[in-house]
Amino acid sequence: MERRFDRSVEDLGNIGAFEHVNVTVPDQRLATLFYVDSLGLTRDPYLKTGLDNMWVNIGRNQFHLPTNKPQVVRGVIGIVVPDRTALVKRLERLHKSEGGRFDFREFDNYVDATCPWGNRIRCHFPESRNGGMTLGLKYLEFTVPIGTADGIARFYRQVMRTPASVSDDRGRHAHVPVGIGQYFNFRETADPIPEYDGHHVQVYVADFSGPYRELLGKGLISEESDQHQYRFEDLVDLETGAPLFTIEHEVRSMRHPMFMRPLVNRNPAQDNRNYQPGHDA
Ligand SMILES: [Fe+2]
């Protein structure tokens, strides 16, 4: 019998990859303890190696952590890391050493770790529903005002040309695919939403000029960075122009010199006491 496949499962929207999330941090020492030593991630050894900024690799993705007043994503940052037991051990050690400035909580399917300045990192583990991801930035889940999910999904469909949809699964939210196995959720909440503090996300798009023309026409381009990159901040209602939510997007073309840049990822289980030759990466 002829084999049948659902070919549409393989389709990608215009956003090919969500690469980094950028939050400023006031103390690189604490940031190192949390992101590198405790989450088990790897400082980029090539770029931003000083005290004014740190880039932290997580699979093919990065956290960007410039030094400045703390910024906090209005929602949850979903990551995948390889080993739950080892992660919890490192978080426990850190929790004791820093007198509880960090926090974490274990759940059935994930572990929530809170950075010293309040960013919530939801750590998931490799399993089939994580699409084969063993280490990486999987999603951002933003909390947005009631009644904005439809408009946000429309904005991503029409302006960014990515197949966003609206779902009522565990509350109404816009679901926006932003790469292979990666997505943004914009989940409606009646709770108060903190003021936007300037943190940003970065995505690579295949059609670079199409969204640019739309954004420019609506007066939404906030930065003309260079030939390969522009930025916008506001997600708006396409009929009224009213802002629905603000999150700066650093939009890069796939011709950007950093697209698909190889990133070094260490094996955090290696230690001088249990060292195994050949298992550093
Ligand atoms: Fe950035």
> Distance, CA 203 to ligand 1 centroid (Å)?
9
Tell me the CATH number at 85: 3.10.180.10
250 CA to centre of ligand 1 in angstroms: 6
Q: How far is the CA of 169 from the centre of ligand 1 (A)?
A: 31
Q: What is the pLDDT of residues 71-88, one digit of tens each?
A: 999 999 999 999 999 999
Compute the distance from residue 244 Cα to the ligand 1 centre, in Å: 22
Segment 145-150 shows an average pLDDT of 98
CA–CA gap between residue 258 and residue 279 (Å, rounded): 27
Ligand 1 geometric centre to CA of 252 (Å): 10
d(CA 104, CA 87): 11
Ligand 1 centroid from CA 98, angstroms: 29
Residue 7 lies in a domain: no
- The rounded Å distance from CA 198 to ligand 1 centre is 11
Q: 278 C-alpha vs ligand 1 centroid, how far in Å? A: 33
Predicted confidence (pLDDT) at residue 108 exceeds the cutoff of 90 = yes
Q: Which residues, at least 6 apart from 232, have a Cβ–Cβ distance to it below 8 Å?
A: 215, 220, 221, 222, 248, 249, 251
Closest CA to 208 of 137, 159, 257: 159
Q: Would residue 56 count as lying in a domain?
A: yes
Instruction: For residue 270, report the distance from its CA to the centre of ligand 1, in Å.
Output: 30
Residue 18 falls inside a structural domain: no
pLDDT confidence band for 102 (50 / 70 / 90): confident
Please state the length of the chain. Answer: 281
Contact between residue 23 and residue 69 where contact means Cβ atoms under 8 Å apart = no
Contacts of 276 (CB under 8 A, 6+ apart): 270
Domain total of the chain: 1
Residue 13 has pLDDT above 60, yes or no: yes
* CA-based torsion, 88, 89, 90, 95: positive or negative: positive
CB 12 within 8 A of CB 18: no
- pLDDT by residue (tens digit) across 171-184? 999 999 999 999 99
Report, as an integer, the average pLDDT of 4-11: 90
Distance 137 CA to ligand 1 centre (A): 14
Q: Residue 38 domain-assigned?
A: yes
pLDDT band at 100 (very low <50, low <70, confident <90, very high): low
pLDDT (0 to 100) of residue 77: 98
Domain that holds residue 105: 25-253
Please give the mean pLDDT across all residues of the chain: 95
Q: Ligand 1 centroid to 21 CA: how many Å?
A: 7
Q: What is the DSSP string of 36-81?
A: IIIT--EE-SSS--SSSEEEEEETTEEEEEEBSS----SEEEEEE-
Nearest alpha carbon to residue 246 among 74, 119, 118: 74
Q: Quick: pLDDT tens for 222-241.
A: 999 999 999 999 999 999 99
Going from the Cα of 202 to the center of ligand 1, the distance in angstroms, rounded, reads: 6
Answer whether residue 70 is part of any domain: yes
pLDDT at 137 over 80: yes
- Structure tokens of 141? 């889940």
Exposure on the CB side of residue 22, measured as CA atoms within 13 A: 15
Alpha carbon of 22 to ligand 1 centroid (Å): 6
